[in-house]
Amino acid sequence: MKNKLLALFASLGMSGFAFGDIQIGENVTIKGFIDASYHNVNSDGNSDTSDLSLDEAEIDFLFNSGSVSARMDIDTGSQGLNSADPTGGTATDGLGIEQAHFTYTTDGGLSVTVGRMGTLLGFEREDPAGLYTFSRAYSNVNFNLGNIDGAGLYNRHDGVRFGYSTDSFTVNVSVDQNVNQDLDSKTGNNDDDDSRLNYEIAVAFTGVENLNLGIGYRNDRSEDARGVLTNSAEDADILNIHAAYTAGKALLAAEYTTLNAESAGVRDLDAYMLLLDYDFTEKLGGAVRYSKDEDNAGGLNRTNTTKWTIAPNYAITENLGAIAEFSSVNPDGANNDSTEFAVELTYTF
C-alpha cells in the first residue's frame, strides 16, 4: 500500500494514500488534501460527545527554479495572527498561510531556507494526511511536535534554517521567532521578551538500510513558552529522539520526548510512543500504537496519561483513503478514563 520509508520523511507523506502532482507550467506544482471525520468520545461519568466535521482542507504550491525552490501551503486549519486564538485554528476559521518559505541549495549539499515553517522534531508530521492514525499520540498537546496547526507551542515559526545533506545524514539548524509574537503590535500588549529568538538543531540519519533515525533539540524562548510547564517558566527545552524501521510489510516506530522549563522547582515532563503499522494487502493495512505522556495542567501535580490505539486503514481509491480508529485513554485518577471512536476520510490530490 505504501513505501513507508519514502513516505516517512516526505513533506506531506506519512499516509497510506497517494499524493498526485498537478503540474502548472514548467516550474509550479500543486497538491493538497481534504480531510473529514466523525469522532465520538465516551468518558467515565456518562459524558458522551460526538462531532461530524470537515477537519481541514489544504492546497500546497511548490515552485522550483534551478537551485531555488519555494513552497506555500494554504489551509483552513491555519488561523494565523488572530488575537482571539493565536495558537492555531480549525476548519471553520477561514483560509490562512500554514507555511511559506523559499530554499537556496548548493551543489555541495548546503541549503538556506527563509520564511514560515514548522519544527523538524517529532515522528508525526504536519497534516492529517501525514499520520498512520486519526488522532495524534499524546494528550498533552505540547508533545505533538509536528502538528503545525495545533495548539502546542511549536506549530509554526518565522525564521531561517541552515541545512547540510549527504547520502547518510541531514543536519538542520534553525533560528526563529514564534508567529504569534507579532500579536503584541496588533493588540497593544507589549512585552520586552518579544524580541527573543528560539533555536533548534535536528539530525536525521539514514545510513543503515531500512532504518531512519532522528534526534533534535529545541530551546523555545518565545512568550508562549512560559506556559509550557508553569506560568513562571521562561524557557522551554525540548529533546526528541525517534526511529522507524521497515521489515517487509511492517513498520516499527518509537519515540521519546522530554520537556523542561528553566524554572526553579519544575520537573522534566516525558512522553514516549511505540507504533506498529502493517500492510495486509495493497489496499488494507492497520496500525497499533501505545503512548504515554505527562499532562502539565495541574502545575506541579503531574498526571500520567496512557493511550492505546488501533487504527485499520483502507485505500478506497488511489487518492481516497479511510481510517477507522478506536482509542482507550487512561489518565491517572478515578473516573477519568475514556474511549474514542473515529472514522476519517482523506482525499489527496
Per-position DSSP letters for 303-323, written without gaps between them:
EEEEEEEEEEEEESSSSEEEE
Please determine, for residue 157, whether its predicted confidence score (pLDDT) is greater than 70: yes
Q: For residue 63, what pLDDT band results from cuts at 50, 70 and 90?
A: very high
Q: Where are the domains of the chain?
A: 4-348
Which of 45-54, 94-103, 211-220 comes out lowest in average pLDDT?
45-54
Specify the pLDDT at position 15. Answer: 35
Q: Does residue 103 contact residue 85 with C-beta atoms inside 8 Å?
A: no
SS3 180: helix
pLDDT at 89: 43
pLDDT at residue 141 in the model = 85
Residue 303: partners with Cβ closer than 8 Å, 6 or more residues away: 294, 295, 297, 331, 332, 333
pLDDT > 70: what percent of the chain? 74
User: What count of Cα atoms within 13 Å lies in the side-chain half-sphere of residue 313?
Assistant: 28
Q: Identify the CA nearest to 182 among candidates 260, 261, 236, 116.
A: 116
Neighbouring residues of 46: CB distance < 8 A, sequence distance ≥ 6: none
Q: Which of 5-19, 234-248, 258-272, 319-333 has the lowest mean pLDDT?
A: 5-19
Residue 11 has pLDDT above 80, yes or no: no
The answer to whether residue 243 scores a pLDDT higher than 90 is yes
Q: What is the DSSP code (8-state) at residue 30?
A: E
The listed range with the strongest mean pLDDT (39-48, 150-159, 302-311) is 302-311
Position 221 scores a pLDDT of 78
Q: Report the pLDDT value the prediction gives residue 248, as an integer from 0 to 100.
A: 94
Q: Are 243 and 212 in contact (CB under 8 A)?
A: yes
Mean pLDDT of 48-55: 90
The partner residues of 295 in beta bridges, in order of sequence, read 303
Q: What architecture does CATH give domain 4-348? A: Beta Barrel (2.40)
Rounded average pLDDT over 309-316 = 97
The pLDDT of residue 223 is 58
Phi, psi at residue 108, to the nearest 5°? Answer: -85, 5
For 85-141, how does the pLDDT look when each residue is reduced to its tens digit (9 = 90+)?
333 344 455 788 899 999 999 999 999 999 999 999 999 988 887 799 999 999 888
Q: Which pLDDT score, from 0 to 100, does residue 285 have?
A: 96
Task: Give the DSSP letter string of 214-272.
Answer: EEEEEEE-SGGGGGSS-TT---EEEEEEEEEEEETTEEEEEEEEEEEESSTTPPPEEEE
Span of 25-39, 61-75, 89-103, 160-174 with lowest mean pLDDT: 89-103
**172/66 Cα distance (integer angstroms):** 21
Q: What are phi and psi of 238, to 5 degrees?
A: -125, 125
pLDDT at position 109 is 92
Q: What is the pTM for the complete model shown? A: 0.83
The mean pLDDT of 285-295, rounded to a whole number, is 94
Mean pLDDT, range 162-186, rounded to an integer: 80
Rg of the chain on CA atoms, in Å: 20
pLDDT reported for residue 188: 46
CA atoms within 13 A on the CB side of 159: 26
Percent of the chain whose pLDDT exceeds 90: 54
